[in-house]
Homo-oligomer: A and B are copies of this chain.
């Protein structure tokens, strides 16, 4: 059947994006490079904490940084974002194809014998 190649990279990317602080750092870096202090300024936490978030972002390839003098400059690395986006888009299109097939099936069938489970409040 389907061979699951565990994608640790996706694990790390989604994990990195699962934190509001790190997402805000990505939002900042998407507008242009920034130093660690730049990234830390709007955040209400210690500099080491910011460094640790930065390390998470670097470990999954979302961000790169380099040091010049005493300043470390960080910039975004969009490939990781694209990988995550593509995984989601792939699932969504897969789901939409399923809807198409269901539509075809319903169009070709007098009645739908398929029964939805317990009632759920469609909000």
Q: Which A residues fall within an 8 A CB radius of B?
A: 1-2, 4, 6-8, 10-12, 14-15, 17-20, 23-24, 26-27, 30-33, 42, 58-59, 64-68, 71-73, 76, 78, 81-82, 84-85, 87-89, 91-92, 94-95, 98, 115-120, 122
Contacts and interface: CB of A to CB of B under 8 A. Distances in A.
Would you list the 4 A-B pairs with minimal beta carbon distance, nearest first? Answer: A66-B117, A66-B118, A14-B18, A15-B18
A10 to B, nearest CB: 7
A92 B85 contact: yes
Given A6-B20, A20-B4, A122-B59, A76 B95 contact: yes
Given A78-B92, A85-B89, A30 B67 contact: no
Nearest to A115: B68
Given A116-B66, A118-B67, A119-B64, A31 B87 contact: no
A18 B11 contact: yes
Contacts of A32: 98
A85 B82 contact: no
